[in-house]
Structure 1
Amino acid sequence: MTKPEQVLEAYRAAVYAKDVDALLSLYDEDVCVFDMWGSWSYDGADAWRGMVTNWFASLGTERVVVALEDVQTTLADGLAVIRAFVTYTGVSAEGNTLRAMHNRLTCVLRQQGDGWKIVHEHSSAPADFETGRVILQR
């Protein structure tokens, strides 16, 4: 991939297709992911593969549409930092919206011989101080 932003487009397509291999091809073998669910961190592509495989399997016939807003990219010396607001919308096999949640996403990519690879990903949402509940609607 010639531009870091193309990684996000490939991410969107792989998530919608529930294609574990296509999604994992976007990540460096030594990736570290700070995700919203399940673990404080996923260290390495094998750990991330396990989480992604379980996520996609949990969807059954549903799909997830990924929409990105306010994408900003900073480039420097073979590295790219991308930040965005992301909405994950669960849709039925018929295309009906079932639910949606909003996250903040930051990715650090490194340019490699075979294109840009995600070396760090951080997904988050703010928490309400009084209730401790995560706010998944923007």
Structure 2
Amino acid sequence: MPPEQILRAYAEAVYARDTQALLALYHPQVTVYDLWEHWQYDGLNAWRGMIEGWFASLGEERVQVTFDDIRTHVTPDMVLVHAFATYAGLSASGERLRAMNNRLSLTLTRSGDQWLILHEHSSAPADFESGKVNLHRPA
């Protein structure tokens, strides 16, 4: 699955709140440095717990994920992807309730005939003085 398809599958799985479809994109030994809560998640089971908790917290809402400024570097053994991601909370009727931005970096590795996410790192810049994280990218 090329990098663009991975990102599309990621967005579709998140919107559908489909834990299995999302986890299918990850390598069993994935390490995730997520923006929220914990410093890192090691392995698919740890990451599963975070995803299940996130999706359960949404109630009737959906999350629409979009990516821009996608950049990739492909080698025979590895793919590096980085992009800006927007996570928009949508009501059950599709109304946009809120949105946040972050930076997303993925390292993909081959597993058989497919690419899987071996490492994910999401972040947002923090103000040096206050330590507050900026979740809204300037236009």
State the TM-score bracket (shorter-chain normalisation).
over 0.9
| Other-structure match for 1:48 | 47
Matches within 5 A, 1:21-40: 21-40=20-39
Matched length: 137
Counterparts of 2:46 and 2:37, CA distance in 1: 12
SS state of the match for residue 101, structure 1?
A: strand
SS state of the match for residue 105, structure 1?
A: strand
| Other-structure match for 2:93 | 94
Counterparts of 2:127 and 2:93, CA distance in 1: 35
Counterparts of 1:114 and 1:20, CA distance in 2: 22
Identity of aligned residues (%): 56
| Other-structure match for 1:125 | 124
Question: Shift of residue 4 of structure 1?
Answer: 2.3
When the two structures are superposed, what TM-score results if normalisation uses the length of structure 1? 0.97
Moved runs in structure 1, 4+ residues, more than 2 A? none
| RMSD of Structure 2 on Structure 1 (CA) | 0.7
Change in Cα spacing, 1:110 to 1:49, as seen in structure 2 (3 Å) is same
When the two structures are superposed, what TM-score results if normalisation uses the length of structure 2? 0.96
**Unmatched tracts of structure 2, length 5 or more:** none
**Unmatched tracts of structure 1, length 5 or more:** none
